[in-house]
Structure 1
Amino acid sequence: MKKETKDLHVQVAEGLIKALQAGTAPWQRPWSTEGLLIPRLPYNAISGKRYQGINVLSLLLSGREDPRWLTFKQAEAAGFRVKSGEKGTLIQFVKTVQRVTKRDSGGQIILDDNHKVVTEDRPLTKAIISNAWVFNAAQIQGLGALVSLAAASKKWEPLERAEGLIKNSGATIRHLAGDEAYYDLRTDSITIPEHSQFDASDKYYATLLHELGHWTGHSSRLDRSLFNFPGSPGYAREELRAEIASMMLGDALGIGHDPGQHSAYVAAWIQLLTDSPFEIHKAATDAEKITAFLLSFDNKLAQDLENPIQQAWNPQKSAVRKFLTTGDEIFYKDKHYQITGHLKQGRIKVFEEGSGTHFIVSRTDKLYTSLLDCKLDASFCPGPLLTATEQSTGSEENQHLPNLKR
C-alpha cells in the first residue's frame, strides 16, 4: 500500500518543532556574509529566483549547504543528471488567479493599440495547490560550483543598502541607551540601543530590520493587528513572522542574520506549531509580504530588479540551456499557449486557449523553437509573456500587541 504523503505545512511544522528544540531552526542560526556563498536562501538554479514562503523553510530544513535547487525535469532539460538513488524535497505551488485572453462580446480576441493580445487575471474560486519535488545541487551532476561573495561583483555595500532602506522607509527611530529594542504601536516608532552598544554594525542593522518588520504591521501599511500582550499566542505569532522576515531580509541585503533574543519565544513557537501546524504556512506568507514591503525601499533592488541571481553570480550560466517549462504562458502570433506538462525525451504538453486544443510538441519542432525564442526575447513575440513563477496564498490571521520587543 502506498504511503500517504503528509501535507507540506505538517511536514515543515514537525521539522521546525524538532529544530527549535535543538536550537537549529533556520532563523535560530546566526550567520555573517564573510566568505558566504551567494545567495544563502534556496533558489532555483535555472531562473535564479528565490523560493517563496513555506518552500524556503522546507528546503532549509533539508540541511543542504548549497542553496541551488532544480526539479528532475529541469535538471534533465538543462543537460544535468540527478544522481542515482537521490530523493527529492517537497515544495508547493499555489495558484490563486488564472490569466486569460480578453475577448469581446462576439468571442473575438481583443488587441491593444499596439496590436498585442490583451489579458486579464481572474481570481479562482478555489486555490489550486500542486506539489513538486526538487533536488539540491549536491544531488545533481554537472551543475558546477558556486561563486563566493568575494568573487562576485559588488557595486553596493550591504550596510549602505540597509541604511538606505531604513532612511527611505521614513520610520521614526529613537536611539536610547539600554538593552531593549522594540516597536511601539501607540507612537508608531521604533526604539533601539545606541549604535555603539552593538559589537558589530551588521548586528545593529539586523536588529533594526527585525523591528521594521513589526513596523510594517501598522494599519497604514500591511495592517496586521499588533495589539496583543507578551506571553500570548498572538505575540508569539507576530514574533514568528518578524523573525522569518528578518532572515529573508538579511539574505536579500547581504548583511547576514542575528537571531538575537529569540530564546524567550521558543517554547511559545513550539506550542503554536503543535496546536496549529498550518500556522507556519500563514507565518511564512506574511513574512514574504513583510520582506517585499521593506525591499520596496531598497535603492539597489529598484535599479536591478531585472537582473536575476544567476546572471550576477553563476559562472556556469552559459552552460545552462534555456528551455520551456511547465507553467510558461506565451503569446505567439495572436495565440495564447500554455505549457501544461513534461514528457520523456524533452517533449512538452501544450494547451492553446483560443481553440481549446491540447497537443504535444518535441524540442525539434519548429513551434518549440518559436515559443522558446519568445520566452527568451520578447522582441520575437507579438504579445505579452508570462513564465512560471511561485505564488503564495493563505488566510491571514491578524494578531496584536502593544510593544513588540526584540
Structure 2
Amino acid sequence: MAYKKKETEPRDYRQELTDKTIIKIEGMITQMDDNPNLKWVKSWFTCDARPKNPFTGTIYKGINLISLMGEDFNDNRFYTYNNIADMEKQRAKNIFDTNTLNAQLESKKITHAEYDVRIDVINKSFKELEDKGLEDRTKPLFIMKGSKSNPVFKAMQVPISRKDDNEQSEDQINEAPEMIWKQVFSGNVFNATQISNIKPIQIEKLNFIPLEEAEIHLKAMIEKTNLGYKEVDQTRAFYSVKDHAITMPLRENFKDENSFYGVLLHEIGHSTGKHFNRDMSGGYGSKSYAKEELVAEISSVIMSADLGIPYDSSQHENHVAYLKSWVSALKDDKNFIFQAASKAEQSVSYQHEIRHTFKQELTLKNEHRNDLKQDMKATPLPEKIKSLSMSR
C-alpha cells in the first residue's frame, strides 16, 4: 500500500523572529515585575557594533540588525556555511600547493626564482583569508558542533496574495500580479565565535572621536532640519511633534556622557518622523505609539553603533507598561518588528545624510576662511590699506 508523503509547512521565519523578540522582552518584564525599582538594564540588543560579513563585506541593516544584534554574541562578525566551506577549501589548497612547491624545490624540479614567484601567490591567498578572519594557516576552519544558525533577510519583490482567487474573472487571473517589496528569508549565518580557527575580534579604529561626532550630529540636525533643542532641569526627555523640538534633562543629571547621547539619539530618532510622515498621532498604549517608540529605540541603537557610543538602555524611560505595549503589538502582527526596523534604518540613513552634508558645508566654510587669511597675509600692507580706502 502506497502512502502519500506528508507535506511539511515551510518555516515562518518572520514569526520565529517575532516570537524570539517577545520572549526576550517578556523576560525583562518579569524581572521588573519582581523588582519594581529595577530599570531595564539589559537591552535585547547585545552587541554594540553593526553586524557584518567579513567574507563578502556585507554590513547588515534593518531587520538583520534585530536578528543578529539580538543574539547573545559580543562579536559582530557573521558568516554563511558556504563562506566557511569556501575559506577552508582555499586554505587546504594553499597548504597542498605549499607542500608540493617545497617538494619540487627540494628535488630541484624548480628553481629558487620560480619558487619565490609561486609561493608569493600562495601567501597572497593566505593573506586574503586572514583578512576575512582566518587565524592559523595550518588548522582547519569549521562550524563547531551544536552551533545554531541565525536567519538573515533581504528585500525582494513578491506578489500580493489575492484571497478570492475563485471569484476572479479570466482577465484578472491572466493579468500580471501586483508586486510589493518585502523582507523575505535569505539564508542562515553563524557568528565568528561559533567557528573554529577564526581569529578573535579586534576593536575597529574609528576615524573620529565618538562624543565629538555625536555633538556634531546634534548641531547638524538642529541646523539642517530646523530642530528646536533645549536642556532643562527635569528628569524627562521628549520630542514635541507640534514644535519639532527636543527637550533633554541637564547633561550633569546623567551618569555619563554616553548615557546622555544614548537618550538624545532616541529623541533625534523621533524627530525624523516628520520628514517621513510617520504616524505619530497615537496615544500612549496604542499600536501606532508602540511602533513609533520601537522605531526610535532601534534607530538609537543603530546610531549609537555607527557613532561608536556604547548603548545603555537603562537611561531610557523604559518601564513595564512601555515594554508591554511592544509585546502586545508584536503578538498582534508578526510584521510589526520588520516594519519598525525598516523605518528605523530609513531614519538612520537620513540622519547620516544630514550630518554628512553639514560637515561638508562646514569644511567648505573653514577652507574659505583659511583662503581669506592667506590672501590677507600675501597682500603687502600698503596694498591692504589702499584696497580698504577704495572700498569705502
Paired residues of 2:330 and 2:337 also in contact (CA < 8 A): yes
Higher CA-based Rg: 2
Aligned to 2:267: 211
Percent identity between matched residues is 27
Alignment map for 1:207-246 (pairs within 5 Å): 207-218=263-274, 221-246=275-300
Q: What secondary structure is seen at the aligned counterpart in 2 of 1:234?
A: helix
**Secondary structure at 1:147 match in 2:** coil
Letter of the 1:295 counterpart:
H
What secondary structure is seen at the aligned counterpart in 2 of 1:228?
Answer: coil
1:45-86: CA deviation from partner (whole Å, max 9, x where unpaired): 223433122222122343233211111112222234323453
Equivalent AA in structure 2 for residue 249 of structure 1: M
1:42 aligns with 2:57: no
Q: SS at 1:175's partner residue?
A: strand
Following the alignment from structure 1 to structure 2, what is the Cα–Cα distance between the partners of residues 222 and 289?
9
Change (3 A) 1:301 1:145: farther
Q: Given the superposition, is the C-alpha separation of residues 245 and 138 from structure 1 closer, same or farther in structure 2, using an over 3 Å criterion?
A: same
**Which shows bigger deviation, 224-233 or 83-92?**
83-92
1:146 aligned to 2:231? no
Q: Which amino acid aligns with 2:215?
A: E
Q: Distance in 2 between matches of 1:275 and 1:234?
A: 13
Q: Deviations over 1:343-391 (max 9, x none)?
A: xxxxxxxxxxxxxxxxxxxxxxxxxxxxxxxxxxxxxxxxxxxxxxxxx
Structure-2 residue corresponding to 1:7: 12
SS at structure 2 position matched to 1:297: helix
Instruction: Summarize deviations over 1:127-150 as a string: whole Å, max 9, x none.
Output: 4735301111122223211113xx
Among 23, 27, 52, which residue is 1:22 paired with?
27
| Cross-structure match for 2:151 | 90
1 or 2, which has the higher helix percentage?
Answer: 2
Give me the whole-angstrom Cα distance separating, in 1, the residues matched to 2:75 and 2:290. 30
Letter in 1 for 2:280: L
2:79 equivalent to 1:74: no
Residue 29 of structure 1 and its aligned partner are, at CA, apart by 5.2
Equivalent residue runs for 1:256-405 within 5 Å:
256-259=310-313, 260-263=316-319, 264-299=321-356
CA–CA separation in structure 2 for the residues paired with 1:5 and 1:298:
43
TM-score by length of 2: 0.62
The answer on whether the counterparts of 2:13 and 2:185 sit within 8 Å (CA) in structure 1 is no
Match of 2:209 in 1: 157
What is the distance in 1 between the residues matched to 2:346 and 2:240?
Answer: 20
Distance 1:17 1:210 in 2: 21
1:72–1:191 distance in 2 versus 1, CA, 3 Å: same
CA distance in 2, matches of 1:23, 1:224: 28
Pairs aligned (count): 266
Question: Which protein has the bigger strand share?
Answer: 1
Distance 1:61 1:54, change over 3 A: same
Q: Which runs of 5+ in 1 are unaligned?
A: 98-123, 304-406
- What secondary structure sits across from 1:134 in the alignment? strand
Distance (whole Å) between structure 1 residues aligned to residue 13 and residue 60 of structure 2: 14
Task: State the 4+ residue runs in structure 1 displaced beyond 6 angstroms.
Answer: 300-303
**CA–CA distance in structure 2, aligned partners of residues 29 and 58 of structure 1:** 20
Q: Equivalent of 2:244, from 175, 179, 188?
A: 188
Q: Does the CA-based 8 Å contact 2:29-2:324 persist in structure 1?
A: no
Alpha-carbon contact 2:262-2:311 (below 8 Å) kept: yes
User: Offset at 1:225?
Assistant: 2.1
Change in CA separation of 1:158 and 1:300 when aligned onto 2, cut-off 3 Å: farther
CA, structure 1 residues 2+73, in 2 after alignment: closer, same or farther (shift >3 Å)? farther
One-letter identity of the residue aligned with 2:345 = E
Residues in 2 aligned to 1:225 and 1:130: alpha-carbon distance in whole angstroms: 27
Distance in 2, matches of 1:228 and 1:248, equals 24
Distance in 1 (alpha carbons) for counterparts of 2:21 and 2:29: 9
